[in-house]
Structures are given as C-alpha cells and as structure tokens.
C-alpha cells in the first residue's frame, strides 16, 4: 500500500460487507489490468525505439546518403523524422536515445519501476522516465571507488513526479491551438507544445489579467522573464516532446 493503515482501518476495509460496497476487488483487478497495459505499452515503445534508431543510423550512414542521392533527395533531419516515421524531430531523437541505451539499463529501470509499484506508488514507466533514470546512472569510471553514486544507479528515482503547476489554454477562441504545460515537483516540465506556442498563450493570459489586448510589448515582457523559457528549453534538449 502507498499509505500505512491503522489496524482498525485494515479491519474495516477487510470486512466483507465493506469490500462489497466499496467494490474493492473490482477496483483492484482493474488497477492491475491498467498497470499491465502500461507495461505492455512501454515494452512496445522500447522495441519501436530500437527500430527507429536502426533506421536513423542508416539514414546518416554513407550507404543511406548514397541511396538518397541516387533518388535526388536531400532531406534534413526534420524531413526524415516527419516523412519517414511521422514524428517531430524532438520525439524521434528521444526514440533514438532510448534505442541506444544498454539492455542492462532498461532492465534495471523496469526492475526499479516494479519495486516502486509493488509499494503501491506510481512509477514513471515512460521513455522520458527511462532517459531521466539513465542520466542518473554512474558513467564509466565511476561507481565503486569512483565519484559516482555507486553501481546499480543507487539514488536514481523512478517515482512519478507530482504536478505543482499546471497551465491549460484553449486557443480556439483566439484562432490558435490548445496549450498545456505541467511543472513537476522534480523541476521537469511536460508539454507537447513548442516554446513559442507557450509564450503566446502566456502573453494572452497576462493581457487578460491586465484587462488589455496582448501587444508585442507584453509578449516581450513575458519572454524577458526567462525562467520558464530556460526550463522548457532544458527539457526539450534532454527529452524532446511528451510521449
């Protein structure tokens, strides 16, 4: 359980009539099915990552460049990501990064997720969670006798961070797309929007608060704040878009 129960609380929840009225058995069964579905989705994503990395490596190879040249093509990485796999470049890069991780790191991450979930907590079993975990692992030369945190990724957390700030913008009224941003307790941000889209949404919000139509000046004021931009930039560079 994620929270320790008093003896009288345990006895109450174990009472047959209480279990029946609260649908505890059914809820537990569905939660387990949901967790298994998440594991299956993650496993599929790992397989997908390996395939995309193989394709991207070929695209960058001399053989790939020659094949494209013979067909009169000159693709940028953005072109390749969108035209071949239907992804934005940032998300494809995330897949490529995951596809290059050692099997041992992925197995260790899954084992740690299993441990967290067995304690009744929520694990961040996602590609972004895996990359964050991998970045916390000791590098070669660290570990025993080195400057790292120790072998096995000691100190690396896979618990899903809690949201401390959420921002949702319905852009239809303004002829724009929707914007959603979440700032987590671990300092990371999660969004599928570009930084410019987020800036525009925040500018409109600031204009509404000031009861005035957003202007170029108000947009510049938001951009000059800097801290939100820097955090978003850092997370885009590290992880790309939310998956």
110: region left, alpha or beta (phi > 0 left; psi from -120 to 50 alpha): alpha
114-125 confidence digits (pLDDT tens): 999 888 888 999
The range of the structural domain enclosing residue 228 comes to 163-239
Residue at 17 is within a domain: no
The DSSP annotation for 85-120 comes to IS--HHHHHHHHHHHTS-HHHHHHHHHHHHHHHHTT
Residues forming a β-bridge with 165: 183
228 has pLDDT over 80: no
Residue at 31 is within a domain: no
pLDDT (0 to 100) of residue 233? 52
Count structural domains, the chain. 1
190 has pLDDT over 50: yes
Instruction: Read off the tokens for 37.
Output: 């579905």
Residue at 182 is within a domain: yes
Contact in structure between 135 and 238 (CB atoms under 8 Å): yes
Residue at 154 is within a domain: no
30-76 confidence digits (pLDDT tens): 988 988 999 999 999 999 999 999 999 999 999 999 999 999 999 99
Contact in structure between 241 and 91 (CB atoms under 8 Å): yes
Residue at 181 is within a domain: yes
204 has pLDDT over 80: yes
pTM: 0.58
Highest mean pLDDT among 3-7, 91-95, 175-179: 91-95
Residue at 191 is within a domain: yes
pLDDT (0 to 100) of residue 159? 67
158 has pLDDT over 50: yes
Mean pLDDT of the chain: 81
CB atoms within 10 A of CB 227: 7
């Amino acid at each position: 359980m994620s929270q320790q129960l008093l003896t009288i609380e345990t006895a109450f929840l174990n009472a047959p009539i209480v279990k029946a009225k609260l649908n505890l058995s059914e809820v537990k069964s569905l939660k387990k099915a949901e967790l298994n579905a998440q594991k299956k989705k993650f496993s599929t994503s790992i397989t997908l990552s390996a395939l995309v990395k193989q394709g991207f490596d070929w695209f960058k190879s001399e053989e790939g460049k020659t094949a494209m040249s013979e067909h009169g093509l000159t693709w940028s990485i953005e072109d390749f990501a969108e035209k071949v796999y239907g992804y934005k470049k940032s998300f494809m890069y995330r897949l490529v990064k995951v596809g290059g991780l050692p099997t041992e790191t992925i197995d260790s991450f899954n084992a740690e997720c299993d441990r967290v979930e067995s304690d009744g907590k929520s694990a961040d079993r996602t590609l972004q969670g895996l990359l964050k975990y991998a970045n916390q692992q000791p590098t070669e030369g660290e570990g025993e006798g080195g400057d790292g945190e120790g072998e096995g990724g000691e100190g690396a957390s896979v618990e899903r961070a809690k949201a401390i700030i959420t921002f949702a913008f319905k852009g239809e009224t303004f002829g724009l797309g929707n914007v959603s941003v979440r700032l987590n307790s671990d300092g990371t941000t999660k969004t599928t929007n570009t930084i410019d889209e987020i800036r525009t949404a925040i500018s409109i919000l600031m204009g509404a608060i000031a009861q005035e139509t957003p202007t170029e000046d108000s947009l510049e004021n938001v951009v000059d704040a800097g801290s939100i931009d820097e955090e978003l930039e850092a997370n885009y560079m590290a992880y790309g878009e939310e998956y």
